[in-house]
Amino acid sequence: MQKNAIKTSFFILSDSHAEKGLAIPNVPVDVAIHCGDLTEESKIHEFQTSLDLLRHIDAPLKLIIAGNHDFTLDKTAFEKKVAEFQQLYLARIQISTKPNMKMSSEDVVFLGKGIHSFALRNGAKLTVYASPFTPSLEADDWGFSTNEERNHEFNIPSDVDIVLTHGPPNGILDRAASKQRLGCEHLFAAVARARPKMHCFGYVHNGWGAKFVAWREVPSKKPSHFSDINNEGSVLVENLGSILPWKWDTEDVVREKESRLEDLRRRGYRRTSHCAGDEQPIEVGKSTLFVNAAIQGAKDGTQFPWVVDIDLPAAVALEGC
């Protein structure tokens, strides 16, 4: 157990794409996180829609990053599109070069690439590594995209609590509907070396879910999901395959999935806890909870925000401890 650990709750979502009518469940948490793609076409009114959505979350601190659809926040990508379409947009939000800039008076904080620390109201200290970059074959057509020619380094230190990215790491909750893995190998390697308590992301809508990953004792020289994960100690918390019927499911399995899905619809979120005393407690340097929180498709009630409890260190160590 972490010394002076404080149980801290997170409300996590991603890929809301400015959909109107999305319901936010009434569940108080310590921190809310949006993992990017607040918009569909990066328009001002879409940012406002997503900010209005965030305001309905009962959390004193709300952290957001950009996604590839939020390309007006990426100066290079935005200027390219302006050159192509000229008067398509007459204004844009000027925050992409100002990390930690508050976007409203309600503690909604936009995180730029890098490391950010917060003293939370519950007495815990939170350290986050954030990066909006995602791999793409057409890196210049979207915001914050990279390809083999324009690689992005994820310099994640080992003392961060949470890694917050838009795209997933390769091999974990990153399968598209086509079954192709869309996650970034460089990101997985960086996370495998840093071993944070939690890594949350979105981007791959079909990859919605959470997985508790136990790490092998020593990282490999070139980390990958084949070599560095201890599968015997790892657990799939939930994914679409565990709540949606498949053609080969038995009638009993279908009924079980339908019951589980109906329960999630009533609550409006999926909760999991990985604190000391839980069945799968996160141990520093030994395990990480991965969360794909993409809610695109939530209107049909099949993808949900996540509420996650983890232990964090106290913001100020107690004297004599």
Answer yes or no: are the C-beta atoms of 61 and 119 closer than 8 Å: no
For residue 184, count CB atoms less than 10 angstroms from its CB and return exposed for 0-12, middle for 13-18, buried for 19 or more. Answer: buried
**Both tokens assigned to 134:** 């995602």
d(CA 182, CA 261): 26
Q: Whole-angstrom Cα distance, residue 30 to residue 11?
A: 8
1 vs 277: CA distance, rounded Å: 9
pLDDT digit string (tens) for the chain, length 321 residues: 556 899 999 999 998 877 777 888 999 999 999 998 887 555 677 778 878 888 889 999 999 988 776 555 655 554 454 344 333 333 333 343 344 545 544 578 888 889 999 999 999 999 999 998 887 655 456 656 665 545 568 899 999 999 999 999 999 999 988 888 989 999 999 999 999 999 999 989 899 999 999 999 988 989 999 999 999 999 999 999 999 988 899 999 999 999 999 999 999 999 999 999 999 999 999 999 999 999 975 556 679 999 999 999 998 754 443
Amino acid making up residue 168:
P
198-201 and 134-135 beta bridge pairing: unpaired
In this prediction the pTM is 0.86
Q: Tell me the domains of the chain and their CATH numbers.
A: 6-312 (3.60.21)
